[in-house]
Amino acid sequence: PEAAVKGIVRMHIAWCVENPGMARFLATISEPAILDAAEAELKEGNERFAAAVRAWWRPHAHYGALRPLTAAQSLALWLGPAQEWIRAWLLGAFEEPPTEAEVELLADAAWLCLREGAG
């Protein structure tokens, strides 16, 4: 699970850096008309994603590798810090995207939060 947790953080950041326009749109979307038009598709995609995460998470939590968290808790701890870093970069708070060392710091932090025995 450690490799998967860290890999998802790396993949998320890499996608955002490679697709800054899409990432900026997703990070700043607030227009009700756009949200309403995409709501059904977004909801369905989010539900499939959450089900897949729960199915993957459950055995790892059962055997003591990951903390027993809800999907919302795991997502917030897993990608929250990386998303905030990316959002700040996309909005101009940082001139450069995260360095490799910064990506690893965020990946390590996610693992430390999610592994059993954390906190």
Question: Which whole number is the average pLDDT over 90-108?
Answer: 94
pLDDT at res. 41: 74
Q: Which is higher by pLDDT, 78 or 50? A: 78
**Residue 51 confidence (pLDDT) above 80:** yes
Question: Which pTM does this prediction carry?
Answer: 0.84
pLDDT at res. 97: 92
Distance of CA 51 to the CA centre of its chain: 15
Residues in the chain: 119
Confidence of residue 31 (pLDDT cuts 50, 70, 90): low
Closest CA to 71 of 83, 57, 61: 57
Single-letter residue type at 38: A
**Tell me, what DSSP letter sits at residue 31?**
-
Question: Which whole number is the average pLDDT over 89-115?
Answer: 94
Hey, which bits of the chain come out as E strands? Answer: none
